[in-house]
Structure 1
Amino acid sequence: MIERVKAFSQKHNLFTKNATILVGVSGGPDSMALLHYLSTIQAEWSLHMIAIAIDHQLRGEESKSDVHYVEETCKKWGVEFVGKQVDVDSFKKKSKLGTQAAARKLRYEYFAEQMETYNADLLALAHHGDDQVETMLMNFVRSSNPKALSGIPVKRPFAKGKIIRPFLCVTKLELEAYCKENGITPRIDPSNAKDVYTRNFVRKHILPLLKEKNSSIHITTQRLSESLQEDEQYLNQEAKKMFSHVAEIDQTKCEVLIDIPTYQSYPYALQRRTFHLILNYLYEEFPKNLSYVHEDQFFGLLENTSGNQKIDFPLHLKLEKSYRNLLFRFLEKQPLQSDFHMTLDVPGEIKLPNGATLSAIYTDNPSNHSIGTYICNADQVTLPLHIRTRKEGDRMRWKGLNGSKKIKDIFIDAKIPLEQRETWPLVEDNDGDILWLIGVKKGIPTKQMENNTYIQLHYDKGNA
């Protein structure tokens, strides 16, 4: 067993010379074997080792005695010791977590604190090969997320350093045998025999059946875990690149806008991961009721050929599809918008509610015919000009059009997002003649008169 653990540790570069290493120790056979094993290689690697034992106060004096046992053993073996009591019962009521989840959260929070206190490089935990099989089976039952299916990592970043698990290559039976060979009498947690916890059920009833078919299932599973984690790491890197290319982020509003055709040009595997990256970016805390159903809804929205569609996600996140764009936004974080009506003198300038500026001048030599500029003969319009949002029944006409067309239909043809139409500015003269649907369509005045003086309007988006 020792040679396998050494080879496994070397393969994954788990140890470094002169490292400060914390060891999570419960008093059970797995963690006591780990503490003993690390003490045997301490001199070889010049390790500064600190054992950490936590009393979750779930078994009264019994769990308190476990911590005392670890402390006494550390004194015998010359290992520095730190102990801590945490109130799991109170925390789980406050956080609305189950017993195991609450205990784990408090445990890892304390580990992180001690990593800071000791400026530690490593936190060694005693998860073994059977734990890996159990975890992957449990995740297979609970989740469709490939990351969850990849199981327990051998090494991962944590606090100021890394978590390492040197025993993922061996079984629980081997660790119990190791304890016996080295005169270690570990503490036994009676709760491990109860079927009320899913892990215990898998351990007692499912794992033995698998081992009947393959006694080395822990090795097979560990190789699968490492392969899945390597694949997942690569795909996540590619998904982050995709995210940076396809997602337009508005940090002030906590919004993400994607261009659908560009998004769909990437492989589906990256589309799925990028979808989750977007959600991770938007949600401060991931909703418990977010599931694969929402992923299906998202991809259904991408494929929907209708111009405008909306779906609701948990915690007031709304997905709004408008032609080739899809917007993720939180409803309560959206500023309230309303229609407006302003007048513009010539010459003159006004600031629009969206932050843009519209200016007007007289000129004998109009020089700019860009999308942000409108030019007409001064005698063709009646002043003042009115800048407003659309009204029911608004129509306009332009050169080459037989008759006039509804503003509503122009918006549809131009694929203007539905939520932008109610605040989109247009220009009309004092006779009610719509001259310009800004940035979309330039009309022609009803009056057909000409002189050498022109009115030139310029729309500057600024921060709009």
Structure 2
Amino acid sequence: MELQNRAERICRKHLTWQRGQVLFPREVFGDLSIAMQRRVLRTLLRVYRGHLLRVGFSHIEEWRLQLAEGSSFQLSLPQVAVSATTEYIFVGDLLAQEWSPMVLQIPGQVKAGHFTIRAELLLAPQASGEESPESEDFDLDALTLPLMVRPRHEGDRIQPFGALGSKKVKDLLIDSHIPLQQRDFLPLVCDQDDILWIPTVRRSAKGALDRSTGRVLRLSYH
């Protein structure tokens, strides 16, 4: 625990944000012990993404060994790109240009910033037993079409799955540790009445599957 606390203090002291990327001085990183380097890299990812989902020891070690070589590089980790120049370590991509709301056809997909949102139509038996952290299933007949993918708006609310009542999207993003610099660039998938899903964050209670579900809408991102 003490090592992790120290890693967090080091990151708070030295990391900066620039156009949606986390930056960390490579010289500072090079002076750390190997054990501390691993913890700092994990902390940088957690600061950027809010979690370490699907990132294991092998990913961190590959990243650390690339940094040990001292040259510039780019590397793709699960759901995040990392890179380095001779001066800085970078986590994430430069923020994309602002994008406008768009209709999501079923089936179909749209590009929203760095996210590609996909919609598939399945029958209930096809959806049973299949779970992925990058997808959510909804009862299509409980939704009001067409679907829209849009940036968040001031005052947006969602009724999170498993929660009582609705919650401000702003508060949900804060509770989920989504960095301020990323919040306006996260896509919201909505029907004509409600927010259904905020990829990487939370789904809505609306459209939950039950025994009467016949047609399943599967939303996914990459």
TM over 0.5: yes
SS in 2 for 1:356: strand
| d(CA) in 2 for partners of 1:398, 1:383 | 20
Show the 5 A alignment for 1:2-401.
239=32, 241=34, 245=38, 246-247=40-41, 257=44, 281-282=86-87, 334-335=94-95, 337-365=97-125, 366-367=127-128, 368-401=130-163
- Tell me how far 1:242 sits from its aligned partner: 5.5
Q: Which structure has more helix as a fraction of its residues?
A: 1
The structure with more radius of gyration: 1
Of 166, 172, 185, the residue aligned with 1:404 is: 166
| d(CA) in 1 for partners of 2:152, 2:30 | 45
Q: Which deviations, in whole Å up to 9, do the C-alpha atoms of 1:257-292 show, x marking residues without a partner?
A: 4657xxxxxxxxxxxxxxxxxx99327xxxxxxxxx
Matching residue of 1:443: 204
Indicate how the Cα distance of structure 1 residues 444 and 244 shifts in structure 2: closer, same or farther if over 3 A, else same.
Answer: same
SS in 2 for 1:411: helix
- Letter of the 2:103 counterpart: T
- Tell me how far 1:358 sits from its aligned partner: 2.1
- Letter of the 1:442 counterpart: R
- Tell me how far 1:354 sits from its aligned partner: 0.6
Q: Which structure has more strand as a fraction of its residues?
A: 2
TM-score normalized by structure 1? 0.29
- Give the count of matched residue pairs: 154
Matching residue of 1:423: 185
Q: Which deviations, in whole Å up to 9, do the C-alpha atoms of 1:167-215 show, x marking residues without a partner?
A: xxxxxxxxxxxxxxxxxxxxxxxxxxxxxxxxxxxxxxxxxxxxxxxxx
SS in 2 for 1:409: helix
Tell me, yes or no, if the aligned pair for 1:388 and 1:426 is still in contact at 8 Å: yes
- Letter of the 1:343 counterpart: V
- Letter of the 2:121 counterpart: I
Q: Which deviations, in whole Å up to 9, do the C-alpha atoms of 1:223-280 show, x marking residues without a partner?
A: xxxxxxxxxxxxx9763735752348xxxxxxxx4657xxxxxxxxxxxxxxxxxx99
SS in 2 for 1:358: strand
| d(CA) in 2 for partners of 1:455, 1:336 | 28
Q: Which runs of 5+ in 2 are unaligned?
A: 1-28, 48-83
Indicate how the Cα distance of structure 1 residues 258 and 369 shifts in structure 2: closer, same or farther if over 3 A, else same.
Answer: closer
SS in 1 for 2:86: helix
RMSD of Structure 2 on Structure 1 (CA)? 3.7
| d(CA) in 2 for partners of 1:352, 1:343 | 11
Matching residue of 1:453: 215
Tell me, yes or no, if the aligned pair for 2:102 and 2:148 is still in contact at 8 Å: yes
- Tell me how far 1:396 sits from its aligned partner: 0.6
Q: Percent identity?
A: 31
Matching residue of 2:195: 434
Between 383-392 and 236-245, report the one with greater CA deviation.
236-245
Q: Give the number of the structure with larger relative contact order, counting CA–CA contacts within 8 Å between residues 6 or more apart.
A: 2
Q: Which runs of 5+ in 1 are unaligned?
A: 1-235, 249-256, 261-278, 284-325
- Tell me how far 1:387 sits from its aligned partner: 0.9
- Tell me how far 1:430 sits from its aligned partner: 2.0
- Letter of the 1:383 counterpart: L
SS in 1 for 2:138: strand
Tell me, yes or no, if the aligned pair for 1:258 and 1:327 is still in contact at 8 Å: no
TM-score normalized by structure 2? 0.56
| d(CA) in 1 for partners of 2:140, 2:167 | 24
- Letter of the 2:98 counterpart: S
Indicate how the Cα distance of structure 1 residues 396 and 423 shifts in structure 2: closer, same or farther if over 3 A, else same.
Answer: same
- Letter of the 2:175 counterpart: D
Tell me, yes or no, if the aligned pair for 1:347 and 1:362 is still in contact at 8 Å: no
